[in-house]
Amino acid sequence: MEEYILEMKNITKKFPKVIANEDVTINLKKGEILALLGENGAGKSTLMNILYGLYKPTSGEIILDGEKVQFHSPKDAIKHNLGMVHQHFMLVENLTVTENIILGEEPGNTGFINYNLARKKVKELSKKFKLEIDPDEKIENLSVGLQQRVEILKALYRKAKILILDEPTAVLTPQEIEKLFEVIKDLVKTGVSVIIITHKLEEVLDIADRVYILRRGKLVGERNTKGVTKNELANMMVGRDVVLTVTRTPKKRGEKPTLKINNLVVYNSKKLKAVNNVSLEVYPGEIVGIAGVDGNGQTELAEAIIGFRDSYEGQIILDNYNLPINDKTQKNSLNSILNKLFFENNFVKGRLDRGISIVPADRQRHGLILEMQVAENLILGYQGKGKFWEHNILKWKNIYNFSDELIKKYDIRTPNSKNIASNLSGGNQQKVILAREFSKTPKFALIVQPTRGLDVGAIEYIHKRILEMRDANCAILLISLELEEIFSLSDRILVMYNGQITKEFKTEETDQMEVGFYMMGGDKTKVKEA
Amino acid sequence: MEKLIKNNTIYYLLISISILFLAIGVTLYMGEYFYGLIFIFLSILIYLLANLNSNKKDGFKEFLKQKFKVILYPLIGIFVSLIVGGIIMIISGYNPFEAYAALFYGGFYKNWGTAVINATPLIFTGLAIAFAFQANLFNIGAEGQYYIGAMVAAFLGLYIKLPPIFSLLIIFLVGSFIAGIYNIIPAWLKVKTGASEVITTMMFAHIARYFSPIFIRSFGGDPTAGSKHPYVTDKILETNRLPTMKSFLPNADYRIHTGILIAIVLAIVVYYILFYTKLGYDIRAVGKNINAAKMQGINTGKIIFITLIISGMLAGFSGVSQITGLEHKLAQELNAGYGWNGISVALLASNDPIAVVFTALLWGALDAGGQYMQRNIGISGAIVEIIKGIILFLVVARYIYNYFYNKYFKKEEFVSAEERV
C-alpha cells in the first residue's frame, strides 16, 4: 500500500447514454509497467483521460503520492508530473523536433526563445534516456516510430514521472515495437512508471509487470503477468472464449486472374511516384494481402484501382477488360464529352458496374453518408440498377425490404432501416458497408483496413464474412496495416515498401517477423530508423 | 385476392378524396376564405382514416418523429422572440398584448391577403435556396435569378400573343429556364475550378440587378410618365397575366393571384424530387458526404451542376410569378429582396421544401401584421424585423438548444458498452 505512487479509487464516469467507467480502482507502483487491457469501448482510454485531466470523473478520487488531487485540465496533470502519449500524436507537422518538444514550455525569457539552450536540453534528454533523435528534423519527415519517440521525449521534457501510452503499438512495425519496448524498459529503470493502454494480449505478456483487465467499463481483474496465459487474459477481456484467429480453410484458386495490374505508376499530389511500377494479379477465390507501413503507396494504389485518381500510367485489367484510366483512354461518348466539358470524369461508376466492390479505409469519410438512413446507405453505389429505381423514381418499398433483409443477414444492430447511420457504433457501421458491398456479388473486392478501431467481436465477424466472400470465388485484395489481419486472412502476402512490391510470400511459408523485416525495407541499413 | 383489390380501391378512393379536399381547402384558405381550414382538417382526417388499418400508421409516426425538430426549433424561436419583442415594447411604453393581438389579427386574419401576396415570391426563392442547400450549395444569388426571371417574363409578356394557357406556360418555362441557365457559369466554375458558388452567384446577382434598369429603359421605360417610379416597362398584355383569385373567389383580395397555388404545388414537386427520385437521392448524398458519393460512383460534378441549374430555375419562377401575377410590369426597384429573404425562409424551414411554404407564409404574415400594427397601435413596424431576426438567430444557432438540452433535459439513459456494439 505504502509504495503506490498513484491510486485511482472508485472512479465512475457517466456519459450521456453510456457508462464509460463504473467503480474502477487501480494502483500504480513506482518503476512499474502497468497494462490496461480491454476491448475497444471497454473504458481504458476514458480512465486514462480522467487521470490526465481531460475528463472529470462523475465520482471517485485520484491520489498521487499520498495526496488527493483534482485535475481540471491536462495542464494540472503535467504540473503533477504526468505525461501522456495519445494514440493520435499531438505534434505540429511542419515544426522541428526541438520546437515540438519545447512547445508550451519554451526556455528563454521576455518573449524570445533560446533555441540553442532548447536544442541542448533536448540532446541531453535524448542521451539520458537513450532516445536518439535529430533535434532539427521536421516532424513530417520522421517515421511514425520516431514521431512517437518525440512524443515520449516531450513528456519527459516536462519531467513526467508517470507516462501514459495510449495504444502505442497500433501504428508500429514489429521492429519498431521491439525498439519501443526496449525504450520503455530503460525508462522504468530511471524511475519512471509507465501505464500502457492496449488491446493486444502479446504485448501485455511481453512488457507489462502487472495488468488490469477492463470489460464494459468495469474492472474484471488484476493479474501479474508472470504465470498468466494468453487464453486466461482473453477470456477475462471478452467474457467468452474467443477464437483468436478465424480458420482459413485451404481453397484452390481460379485459373485466370480476375484483376491484373501491369506496371502501374501513380503520382501523388507532389508529382512524385507514390506507386512505382507495381504489377500484381488477384485470382478468383483468393485473398491477396498487401502488407506495409502506412504511407508506402497503399492509399494511392487503392485509389487507382477504384478509379478515384486519374493521374497514373500502366494497365489495370479486370476480366480481360482494360479499365479506363484517364480522359484519353475513355471511349468518346456524348457522356464523356459532356463530362470533360462541364462536369468531371468519374471512373468509379464504370468500375462498380463491372463488378468491383470497395470497402474504403476511412468508413465515415468514404464509406458512409452518416446523416442518411441505414437503408439509404445500403443502396449507395447501386448505380443504375433497376431494382431500386425505375425511370429515376425510387422504389422505397424495395429499398426497405432489401435493407431489412441485409440488416438481418449481417446482424446490423439498429432499431430499424430508417435509423440514421451516425447513430450506429463503429462495428455496425462497418457491417453496413460490408453488407452493401458484398450484396453486390462482386467479381473483385478491394478491402482496405476493414477492422480499424473495432473490437475483437466485430473483427472476428468481419473476418468471417470476408473469408465467406473468398469461398464464394470472389477475388479479394486486402490492404491492411495490421499484420495479424493480413496473416489470418491472406492466401498470399505482398509486401509494399516505398511504392514497390518488394517481396511476395505464401502465408504458410513465412512469419510475422520476416514480413515485418521486408516492410522496413528488407535491408536494415537502409532503414531511416537509427 | 379480390378482397385485397377491393381494399386497395377503397384506400385509393379515400386518398384521392383527401387530396381533393386538401386542394380545395388550400385554395379557399389562400383566397381569404377561412373555412378552407375545415377542408384541410377533413383532408387530414380522411388521410388518417385511410391509413388506420395499414402499417403506414407507423410510417406516419416515423414521419412526425423525423419532422419533430424541423417544427420544434422555429416554434421555440418564435416563442422566445415574442417575449424579447414584448420586453422591448414595454420599455418603449406600449402594451405588448395589445400590440401582439394587432400583429396576429392583422397578419393572419385581417390582412391575410397581403400576407399571401408577400409569401408567394418567398416560397419560390426559399425553395430555390433550400434545394441547393440539400446538395450543400449556398445559392446566395437567388436575387439575381429572380431579376432574370422577371425580365424574361416582362419581355415575353409584352410580345407573346397566344391563348392565355399557352402563353403563360411559355413564359413560365422560358423565364425559369433562362434563370437556370444564368447559373451555368457559377456552376461550371464551381465544378471545374472549385470557385465558391457563394461568391460567384452573389456577383451574378448584382449583375442581374443592375442590368434591370437598362432592360427597363429599352422596353417602354418612360422617364416622362410622371409616376412614382419613373422607370417602368409598359404593362404586359392582358392575356399574359396570371388569373387572380378573385376571378373564382369573389371575396378575395383583388391582388392575390394564382401564383401562390403554383408555388405550393412546386413545393410538393421539389419534395418529391428530393425524396422520391434517384436524382434527389444523389443530390442529398452529395450534400451530406461528397467524398462517399464520389467513391460510390456518383458523378458529383454533374449533380452540383444540375442542382445549381434547378435552383436557379426555382428562383426564376419567383420573378415570373411576380410579374405575371402581381405587378404586370417591371419597375426599377433594386431592392426587391426576395432572394435575400428566401435565405431566411429556407433556413427557418431547415431546408425542407414543404416547411418552406409555412415559413414563407409566416414571414409574409409578420410583414402584413406589422403594417397593420403600425397603423392601428402606432408601434413601429420595425419591431417585426427584430422579431424575425431573433427567430432566425435562434433557429440557426442550434448549438444553443443542444447545449441546454444536454445539460438540463436529457434523460440519463445509460447503455452498457456491449449494447453499443
Confidence band for A141, pLDDT divided at 50, 70 and 90:
confident
Whether A194 and A184 have beta carbons less than 8 Å apart is answered as yes
Domain extent for A112: 4-238
- B287 plus B161 within the same structural domain: yes
User: Does the residue B123 lie in any domain?
Assistant: yes
d(CA A479, CA A252): 21
Nearest to A344 among B191, B284, B288 (CB): B191
Confidence band for B411, pLDDT divided at 50, 70 and 90:
very low
Nearest to A380 among B191, B192, B292 (CB): B292
Predicted confidence at residue B123, as pLDDT, reads 96
Does pLDDT of A25 surpass 60? yes
Nearest to A348 among B294, B302, B419 (CB): B294
User: Does the residue A143 lie in any domain?
Assistant: yes
Query: Which percentage of chain A shows pLDDT scores above 70?
Result: 91
CB contact under 8 A, A19 and B418: no
Does pLDDT of B318 surpass 90? yes
B276 CA: distance to closest CA in chain A (Å):
5
CB contact under 8 A, B300 and A306: no
Predicted confidence at residue B166, as pLDDT, reads 92
Q: Mind listing the pLDDT tens digit for each residue in B177-194?
A: 999 999 999 999 999 888
- B53 plus B80 within the same structural domain: no
- Which A residues 386-425 touch B at CB under 8 Å? 389, 392-394, 396, 413, 418, 425
CB contact under 8 A, B191 and A360: no
Instruction: Say whether residue B412 is in contact with chain A using an 8 A CB cutoff.
Output: yes
- A214 plus A289 within the same structural domain: no
- A308 plus A451 within the same structural domain: yes
Chain A CB contacts of B308 under 8 Å are none
- List A394's β-bridge partners, or say none: A389
Instruction: Say whether residue A383 is in contact with chain B using an 8 A CB cutoff.
Output: yes
Instruction: Say whether residue A267 is in contact with chain B using an 8 A CB cutoff.
Output: no
d(CA A85, CA B245): 72
Q: Mind listing the pLDDT tens digit for each residue in B126-180?
A: 999 999 999 999 999 999 999 999 999 999 998 889 888 899 999 999 999 999 9
d(CA B73, CA A356): 44
Chain A CB contacts of B58 under 8 Å are none
User: Does the residue A94 lie in any domain?
Assistant: yes
User: Does the residue A377 lie in any domain?
Assistant: no
| pLDDT-wise least confident of A65-74, A214-223, A327-336, B337-346 | A327-336
User: Does the residue A267 lie in any domain?
Assistant: yes
- CA neighbor of B124 nearest in space, from B114, B139, B135, B112: B139
Chain A CB contacts of B62 under 8 Å are 418
User: Does the residue A426 lie in any domain?
Assistant: no
Instruction: Say whether residue B276 is in contact with chain A using an 8 A CB cutoff.
Output: yes
User: Does the residue B43 lie in any domain?
Assistant: yes
- A25 plus A88 within the same structural domain: yes
A481 CA: distance to closest CA in chain B (Å):
21
- B209 plus B308 within the same structural domain: yes
- B98 plus B227 within the same structural domain: yes
Predicted confidence at residue B306, as pLDDT, reads 94
CB contact under 8 A, A381 and B300: no
CB contact under 8 A, A346 and B301: yes
User: Does the residue A415 lie in any domain?
Assistant: no
- A318 plus A208 within the same structural domain: no
Predicted confidence at residue B230, as pLDDT, reads 60
CB contact under 8 A, B277 and A393: yes
d(CA B163, CA B174): 16
Nearest to B279 among A18, A371, A392 (CB): A392
Query: Which percentage of chain B shows pLDDT scores above 70?
Result: 88
Confidence band for B56, pLDDT divided at 50, 70 and 90:
low
Query: Which strands, in side-by-side order, build the sheet including A162-166?
Result: A82-85, A162-166, A193-198, A33-37, A210-215, A218-224
Where residue B81 sits, what CATH number does that domain have? 1.10.3470
Q: Mind listing the pLDDT tens digit for each residue in B109-119?
A: 999 999 999 99
User: Does the residue A148 lie in any domain?
Assistant: yes
Q: Mind listing the pLDDT tens digit for each residue in B378-398?
A: 888 888 888 888 888 887 777
Q: Mind listing the pLDDT tens digit for each residue in A486-510?
A: 888 999 999 988 888 988 889 888 8
Which of the residues A346, A387, A389, A396 would you substitute to probe the B interface, choosing the one with the greatest number of B C-beta atoms within 10 Å?
A346
Nearest to B276 among A348, A365, A394 (CB): A394
- B84 plus B148 within the same structural domain: yes
Predicted confidence at residue B222, as pLDDT, reads 58
B384 CA: distance to closest CA in chain A (Å):
35
User: Does the residue B63 lie in any domain?
Assistant: no
- A233 plus A291 within the same structural domain: no
d(CA B112, CA B114): 5
Higher pLDDT, A16 or A96: A96
- B19 plus B130 within the same structural domain: no
Instruction: Say whether residue B281 is in contact with chain A using an 8 A CB cutoff.
Output: yes
Higher pLDDT, A485 or B188: B188
A8 CA: distance to closest CA in chain B (Å):
21
Chain A CB contacts of B416 under 8 Å are 18-19, 216-217
Does pLDDT of B77 surpass 90? no
- Which A residues 21-80 touch B at CB under 8 Å? 41-43
- A118 plus A220 within the same structural domain: yes
Instruction: Say whether residue A240 is in contact with chain B using an 8 A CB cutoff.
Output: no
* Mean pLDDT on B99-115: 91
Instruction: Say whether residue B421 is in contact with chain A using an 8 A CB cutoff.
Output: yes
- Which B residues 161-190 touch A at CB under 8 Å? 188
Chain B CB contacts of A371 under 8 Å are 288-289
Number of domains within chain B:
2
Does pLDDT of A23 surpass 80? yes
* Mean pLDDT on A468-492: 89
Does pLDDT of A253 surpass 60? yes
What cell numbers appear for A173 in the block? 512495425
- B201 plus B110 within the same structural domain: yes
Q: Taking all residues of chain A, what is their mean pLDDT, rounded to a whole number?
A: 83
Nearest to B292 among A19, A41, A366 (CB): A366
CB contact under 8 A, B417 and A392: no
Domain extent for B155: 69-420
- A263 plus A153 within the same structural domain: no
Nearest to A425 among B289, B305, B420 (CB): B420
d(CA B184, CA B304): 11
User: Does the residue A103 lie in any domain?
Assistant: yes
User: Does the residue B298 lie in any domain?
Assistant: yes
- B9 plus B119 within the same structural domain: no
- B336 plus B381 within the same structural domain: yes
Task: Give the count of Cβ contacts less than 8 A between chain A and B.
Answer: 133
Long-range contact set of residues A451-455: C-beta below 8 Å, sequence gap at least 24: A451/A480, A451/A482, A451/A485, A452/A361, A452/A481, A452/A482, A453/A40, A453/A426, A454/A40, A454/A426, A454/A427, A454/A430, A455/A39, A455/A40, A455/A41, A455/A42, A455/A199, A455/A427, A455/B421
- B23 plus B155 within the same structural domain: no
Number of domains within chain A:
2
The residue of chain B nearest to residue A437, with distances taken between CA atoms, is: B296
CB contact under 8 A, B410 and A369: no
Nearest to B296 among A20, A217, A381 (CB): A381
* Mean pLDDT on B69-85: 83
- A210 plus A274 within the same structural domain: no
Residue where a domain stops, chosen among A238, A270, A300? A238
Instruction: Say whether residue B192 is in contact with chain A using an 8 A CB cutoff.
Output: yes
Question: Residue written as cell 507514390?
Answer: A274
Does pLDDT of B340 surpass 80? yes
Helix axes B112-134, B300-321, angle to 10 degrees: 170
- B185 plus B88 within the same structural domain: yes
Question: Among A85-89, A452-456, B79-83, which range has the highest average pLDDT?
Answer: B79-83
- A52 plus A118 within the same structural domain: yes
Q: Mind listing the pLDDT tens digit for each residue in A50-67?
A: 888 888 888 888 988 888
Instruction: Say whether residue B285 is in contact with chain A using an 8 A CB cutoff.
Output: yes
Predicted confidence at residue A530, as pLDDT, reads 33
Higher pLDDT, A493 or B3: A493
Confidence band for A337, pLDDT divided at 50, 70 and 90:
confident
* Mean pLDDT on A431-437: 92
- The number of residues in chain B equals 421
CB-count exposure of residue B247 (10 Å: 0-12, 13-18, 19+): exposed
- A213 plus A273 within the same structural domain: no
- List A480's β-bridge partners, or say none: A291
* Mean pLDDT on A92-114: 82
- A25 plus A125 within the same structural domain: yes
CB contact under 8 A, B301 and A342: yes
Chain B CB contacts of A425 under 8 Å are 420-421
Which of the residues A343, A358, A417 would you substitute to probe the B interface, choosing the one with the greatest number of B C-beta atoms within 10 Å?
A343
- Which A residues 433-472 touch B at CB under 8 Å? 455, 457-458
User: Does the residue B397 lie in any domain?
Assistant: yes
Where residue A463 sits, what CATH number does that domain have? 3.40.50.300
- A176 plus A302 within the same structural domain: no
Predicted confidence at residue A308, as pLDDT, reads 80
Instruction: Say whether residue B279 is in contact with chain A using an 8 A CB cutoff.
Output: yes
What cell numbers appear for A13 in the block? 464516469
Higher pLDDT, A14 or A464: A464
Predicted confidence at residue B335, as pLDDT, reads 67
Predicted confidence at residue A383, as pLDDT, reads 59
Query: Which strands, in side-by-side order, build the sheet including A312-318?
Result: A273-282, A259-267, A312-318, A321-322
Q: Taking all residues of chain B, what is their mean pLDDT, rounded to a whole number?
A: 86
**What helix, strand, coil percent values describe chain B, rounded to 5?**
75, 0, 20
- B199 plus B263 within the same structural domain: yes
Predicted confidence at residue A392, as pLDDT, reads 83
